[in-house]
């Protein structure tokens, strides 16, 4: 039921009470108030949200993407690069589809196009997962009626077709010879603006990601305790605010604290310690590997190597986690790579003691 009241200001207040729901809003003209009230009554009858934040026209997948992004920004939650990329792909590829056009077959067709573009099973799985996320968000927060079962059916089909799946654990570790080749290559390259040799050593010494290396600042270095604050570390369970104080140690064959002092001597700056674009660092690393004919080595493998060396130095899993930032200790088990030879050597050392 709707009621309309003329206010002392001359405006009209529309009030809608229907099926236990109540909403009101003021308008300059009574006609506008009546049109709005009718629209709200229809929303209530359809089980949709009557929130003022819900846009009047939500018809396509692109509308869902835009609504989700707007709500995230309104809650001051920034989109990470991978999620932003997936949402843009959804908008570009299937954004024109209306809700009633999005079925299992069209989702599978979208996945096949992504595969043909070169996307792997993990990337496609993320795209489909984000599609479900924006649909659930619109349904739960704004009451938009959507058939989410179509996404679930598509996921089952794509899994059986082998088009989506979990990533395989990567076990590639650089040899010391490969590291020496890379370091020598970068030190001999006068055209390289960023100190890539030092960055490579620092990556192994700290087990930091390249984005973390390129974001730490001098103001966050504790000179007395030999630590640095890494802000907003990656954590799948908690997207923001994961600041962590990381010890700068000499346990991996490279001294993290000494490398920091070398960087201070060679570059006088007050902001970022390594003020370089992380993508440029990755590109320089890839070029060096190509020229040196080092196959299948990624910059992220240096983090893997550093983590493995911390275990080999004798640190316990909880101690390694303080350096690497892993919140789930189960994730660290794949980095240990304990071999029979290592156990024998460890036993012999204990016998000598």
| Residue 182: predicted pLDDT | 96
43 is an active site residue: no
239 is an active site residue: yes
Residues 6+ apart with CB under 8 A from 205: 248, 249, 250, 252, 253, 254, 255, 256, 259, 306
What kind of fold does domain 176-352 have according to CATH? hpI Integrase; Chain A (1.10.443)
112 is an active site residue: no
Among 173, 234, 287, 300, the active-site one is: 300
| Residue 1: predicted pLDDT | 75
- Considering Cα of 279, then 281, then 283, then 286, what sign does the dihedral take? negative
| Residue 335: predicted pLDDT | 64
Q: Give 309's Cβ-side CA count (13 Å radius).
A: 23
pLDDT tens digit sequence for 44-78 = 777 665 555 555 667 899 889 988 888 887 777 77
| Residue 166: predicted pLDDT | 74
Is 80 exceeded by the pLDDT of residue 331?
no
Among 115, 137, 226, 239, the active-site one is: 239
Among 89, 201, 303, 309, the active-site one is: 303
Among 201, 209, 233, 304, the active-site one is: 209
pLDDT tens digit sequence for 208-262 = 999 999 999 999 999 999 999 999 887 655 555 678 999 999 999 999 999 999 9
28 is an active site residue: no
Domain boundaries, the chain: 2-46, 61-160, 176-352
pLDDT tens digit sequence for 136-180 = 988 888 778 889 999 999 999 999 999 998 766 678 899 999 999
335 is an active site residue: yes
């Amino acid at each position: 039921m709707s009621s309309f009241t003329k206010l002392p200001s001359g405006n009209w207040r529309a009030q809608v009470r229907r099926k236990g729901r109540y909403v009101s809003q003021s308008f300059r003209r009574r006609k506008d108030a009546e049109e709005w009230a009718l629209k709200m009554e229809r929303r209530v009858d359809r089980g949709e949200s009557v929130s003022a934040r819900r846009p009047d026209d939500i018809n396509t997948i692109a509308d869902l993407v835009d609504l989700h992004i707007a709500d995230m920004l309104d809650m001051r939650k920034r989109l990470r690069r991978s999620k932003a990329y997936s949402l843009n792909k959804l908008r570009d590829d299937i954004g024109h589809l209306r809700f009633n056009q999005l079925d299992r077959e069209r989702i599978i067709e979208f996945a096949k196009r992504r595969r043909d573009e070169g996307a792997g099973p993990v990337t496609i799985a993320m795209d489909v997962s984000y599609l479900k996320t924006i649909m659930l968000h619109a349904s739960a927060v704004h009451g938009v009626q959507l058939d989410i079962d179509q996404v679930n059916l598509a996921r089952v089909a794509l899994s059986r077709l082998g088009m989506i799946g979990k990533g395989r654990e990567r076990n590639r570790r650089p040899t010391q010879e490969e590291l020496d080749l890379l370091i020598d290559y970068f030190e001999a390259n006068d055209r390289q603006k960023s100190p890539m040799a030092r960055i490579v050593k620092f990556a192994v010494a700290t087990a930091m990601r390249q984005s973390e290396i390129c974001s730490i600042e001098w103001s966050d270095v504790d000179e007395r305790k030999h630590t640095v604050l890494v802000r907003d570390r990656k954590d799948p369970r908690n997207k923001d605010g994961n600041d962590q104080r990381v010890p700068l140690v000499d346990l991996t064959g490279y001294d993290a604290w000494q490398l920091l002092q070398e960087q201070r001597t060679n570059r006088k700056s007050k902001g970022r310690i390594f003020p370089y674009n992380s993508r440029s660092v990755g590109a320089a690393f890839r070029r060096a590997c190509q020229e040196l004919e080092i196959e299948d080595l990624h910059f992220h493998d240096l983090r893997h190597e550093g983590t493995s060396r911390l275990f080999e130095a004798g640190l316990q899993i909880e101690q390694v986690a303080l350096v690497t930032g892993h919140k789930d200790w189960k994730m660290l088990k794949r980095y240990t790579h304990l071999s029979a030879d290592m156990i024998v050597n460890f036993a012999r050392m204990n016998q000598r003691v």
